[in-house]
Chain A
Amino acid sequence: MSILAIVAAVAASSAALAYLAVGDAKRRRVFGLPPLERKAWQTWLAIAGVLAPAVFLLYGGGGAGFVVWCGAVSVAGWALAATPPAQAAAMGRRVTGGMAAAGRILRTMIRAARGTEDTDDRLDRLERRVAALEAALAHHEPAAKPTAPRRRNGAGGKTEMPQPSGQ
């Protein structure tokens, strides 16, 4: 059982623990938060999510991974539970914000590596293509009325209805 598998198992169990912590009724009551409506099956599924990685480790490759999981989840569970909800939410926002920013940076890097056009140009190109196809369709089916695509108009978001370009 590799180190990576153990770390992944601990991370998965910790995520399930975080889900349980967020919805814990007594925790929310103590900190004055409104109760989170959760069905019983959702809670049980989360508990299964906590324990399933341990079963996988135990049967996948000896007791060492399972024992490490037990210790790591004890520490992680304490850390999660000891973090007050407001602090946990702030950390969660920082984490998701960070992940979103990382995703944006990654997408930009990929696009730069591929040398692809930016989004606006691509939309313009696609709209022109649709208009051309509709014009061709109108040519073959004179009864059908071509409709022009709505065109975006920068930050203001106001749309205008240009005429088909007839390309």
Chain B
Amino acid sequence: MKSLSQSQLKRLTAVHGWSGTVLGLLLYAVVATGTVAVFAHEIAEWSVGGAKNHAPLAGGLDGKIRPIAERMTKGYLEEIAVWATAKGDLNVFPHAHARNPDSGKIDNYGTLFRLDGTTGAELARNEGFVFTKPEWFEASALEDFLVDLHVQLYVPQPWGLILTGILGLSMMAAGVTGFLMHRHLIRDLFVAARPGHRLVTARDRHVLAASWGLLFAFLLGFTGSFFSFAGTVSLPLISQVAFGGDQKAMRETLFEPAVTPDPRPAALTDLDAVVARSTALAGAPVRFIVVDHYGRADARINLWHMPPQGSLAWVRNVFDGTDGRFLGVKPRVGRQPSAGSALYELIWPLHTGDFAGTLSKAVWVGLGTAMCYVILSGMQLWVRRREDTALWRGFGRAVTTTAYGLPFAMTAAAYGFFLSLPAADPFYWTPMGFVLGALACIAAGVFAGDGDRLAQRFRRLLGAACVVLPVVRMAMGGLGWADAVVQGQGAVLSFDLMFLVLGVLLFRWATRQPHGRAAGGPLPEPAE
């Protein structure tokens, strides 16, 4: 590669440094919450005390869904969506599409039934624009909050998505500019941070973590910004050109299977037989089912399966609704397999790590943690170079406060969830717990010591919060360990143990000797 001139390097350094500094705290928030959200489903299971039924979609569906569909008005039979909650309950949602007066957009409108996953007994029923009310279809307010925090930083649509999309672009830009700036990437690949607490040590730490995580930093930024912008910006613009602005033609070409309308009445085939056959064909459990046009001759049954072993992409099987004939695998985009669809199908698994069970998710958590380290070490390096200025010393405190405060606030959200379970609305108190936790950390950051003492105090605070959390969970009526073992609720045990271990490790880390250097004091040595 041709080496860059001084002016080019200077520009790249400015772009890399300033974008990282201005957007770094928000980027850290997105990456840290994303790291946690990798295990969103397991967090949901842990928070609700485990799933009563781990495979409610595996069988016995026909007897639960058909009675509901038979008594529904025909208008709601346009689609029937079926999926499981974290508690192992079944959500059955016959619905149509109508314009939501609040948002002005076309939304799903119908009646949502929550059924016991084993017996089919009706647990709850709600009617309306269901997906605007998470308390109707989500089992865990904690999961809902943590995912929303990552996807749009809890900022209302569409601004939250645009914000996280910009942060994804900035992560890509930081990765590329950092790569171009670092002239000896391969040569320095095994150079650990030099001993001592000099500025070059801070630089080494940042560069090493960034070098090893470069590929995934770019990939995660790219896929993240795709999710943010695809629906809001890219698709509307591209469809204007490709389909002359005809959104219906665009949807039918890209996403919906070709079906000749046939409104003649016809009974739906045995759903359980279809589920069994689809599962055998896909080689993976089913996660989501949609029955189109129940009770008509043009009925279709769509089943979405987890990625089969060795594969990255989810599988969507389509069956004829009247005779159960297998109609084929529907790609994510288009009506038959293609390179474009294959590329599109990679985005979700590459971003979430949700394709090979706990192993891939664990690796993605490792990658997310590495990304967090890169972001924080970069901001710390920036601050170290400018420590003679009060403004940047203050920013340094903000970095420390955010670095520990965000995980603490997420833990506080969990406290808000568990403490509100008996008698309050967890969908209100979970985000409120986050806010209160964040405010507490900001107050600590402002008043409680500086530099290393501040970091140590935060570690103790976070450690204590982690250790006490499983106790609070059980005290609020959560599943005990003995029952968790008997019922095979691995998520409950794993997360409790993880919090205990994390808490202990944080305490041990907090008791380690600080650097011995006064915080904010300038170093009497050059930067490099």
Contact in complex: A71, B356 (CB < 8 Å): no
Q: Give the nearest-CB partner of B346 in chain A.
A: A63
CA distance A145 to B312 in the complex (A): 76
B367 at the interface (CB under 8 A from A): yes
Pick the residue among A2, A30, A64 that contacts B355 (CB under 8 A). Answer: A64
Contact in complex: A72, B309 (CB < 8 Å): no
Contact in complex: A72, B366 (CB < 8 Å): yes
Residues of A close to B216: CB separation below 8 A: 70-71, 74
Listed stretches A20-28, A99-107, A113-121, A150-158; interface member: A20-28
Pick the residue among B191, B360, B367 that contacts A27 (CB under 8 A). Answer: B191
Chain B residues numbered 341-392 whose CB sits less than 8 Å from any CB in chain A: 349-350, 353, 355-357, 359-360, 363-364, 366-367, 370
Render B177-208 as a binary contact track against A, CB cut-off 8 A, 1 for contact: 00000000001111111110000000001001
CB distance from A58 to the nearest CB of B (A): 10
Contact in complex: B188, A26 (CB < 8 Å): yes
Highest count of chain B CB atoms <10 Å: which of A2, A30, A64:
A64
CA distance A7 to B359 in the complex (A): 9
B444 at the interface (CB under 8 A from A): no
Residues of B close to A26: CB separation below 8 A: 187-188, 190-191
CB distance from A131 to the nearest CB of B (A): 57
Residues of B close to A82: CB separation below 8 A: 192-193, 205, 208-209
Contact in complex: A1, B192 (CB < 8 Å): no
CA distance A68 to B312 in the complex (A): 10
CA distance A62 to B370 in the complex (A): 26
Residues of A close to B370: CB separation below 8 A: 74-75, 78
Residues of B close to A24: CB separation below 8 A: 189-191
CA distance A28 to B363 in the complex (A): 29
CB distance from B349 to the nearest CB of A (A): 8
A85 at the interface (CB under 8 A from B): yes
Contact in complex: A78, B350 (CB < 8 Å): no
Contact in complex: B312, A64 (CB < 8 Å): yes
Given that A61-B310, A64-B307 are contacting pairs, would A74 and B215 also be in contact in the complex, using a CB cutoff of 8 Å?
A: yes
CB distance from A9 to the nearest CB of B (A): 12
Pick the residue among A31, A64, A70, A71 that contacts B310 (CB under 8 A). Answer: A64
Pick the residue among A21, A75, A81 that contacts B366 (CB under 8 A). Answer: A75
Contact in complex: B310, A3 (CB < 8 Å): no
CA distance A81 to B192 in the complex (A): 6
A146 at the interface (CB under 8 A from B): no
CB distance from B368 to the nearest CB of A (A): 10
Pick the residue among B212, B310, B363 that contacts A78 (CB under 8 A). Answer: B212
A83 at the interface (CB under 8 A from B): yes
Q: How many residues of A contact B (CB 8 A)?
A: 32
Q: Give the nearest-CB partner of B374 in chain A.
A: A78
B247 at the interface (CB under 8 A from A): no
Given that A20-B190, A24-B190, A84-B195 are contacting pairs, would A68 and B360 also be in contact in the complex, using a CB cutoff of 8 Å?
A: yes
Given that A27-B190, A81-B190 are contacting pairs, would A75 and B310 also be in contact in the complex, using a CB cutoff of 8 Å?
A: no
Chain A residues numbered 1-29 whose CB sits less than 8 Å from any CB in chain B: 1-3, 6-7, 20-21, 24, 26-27
Contact in complex: A74, B212 (CB < 8 Å): yes
CA distance A68 to B307 in the complex (A): 14
Q: Give the nearest-CB partner of B366 in chain A.
A: A75
CA distance A145 to B216 in the complex (A): 75
Q: Give the nearest-CB partner of B357 in chain A.
A: A3
Contact in complex: B191, A1 (CB < 8 Å): no
Contact in complex: A83, B310 (CB < 8 Å): no
CB distance from A102 to the nearest CB of B (A): 23
Contact in complex: B309, A64 (CB < 8 Å): yes
CA distance A88 to B55 in the complex (A): 45
B311 at the interface (CB under 8 A from A): yes
Given that A64-B360, A75-B366 are contacting pairs, would A81 and B309 also be in contact in the complex, using a CB cutoff of 8 Å?
A: no
**Could you list some 20 contacts between A and B, CB below 8 A?**
A3-B356, A3-B357, A24-B189, A27-B190, A27-B191, A30-B194, A61-B309, A64-B310, A64-B360, A65-B356, A70-B215, A70-B216, A72-B366, A74-B216, A75-B367, A78-B212, A80-B190, A82-B205, A84-B192, A84-B193
Question: Which residues on B are within 8 Å of A, measured CB to CB?
Answer: 187-195, 205, 208-209, 212-213, 215-216, 307, 309-312, 349-350, 353, 355-357, 359-360, 363-364, 366-367, 370
By Cβ-Cβ distance, the 3 closest A-B pairs, closest first, are A62-B310, A78-B212, A24-B190
Question: Which residues on A are within 8 Å of B, measured CB to CB?
Answer: 1-3, 6-7, 20-21, 24, 26-27, 30-31, 61-65, 67-68, 70-72, 74-75, 77-78, 80-85
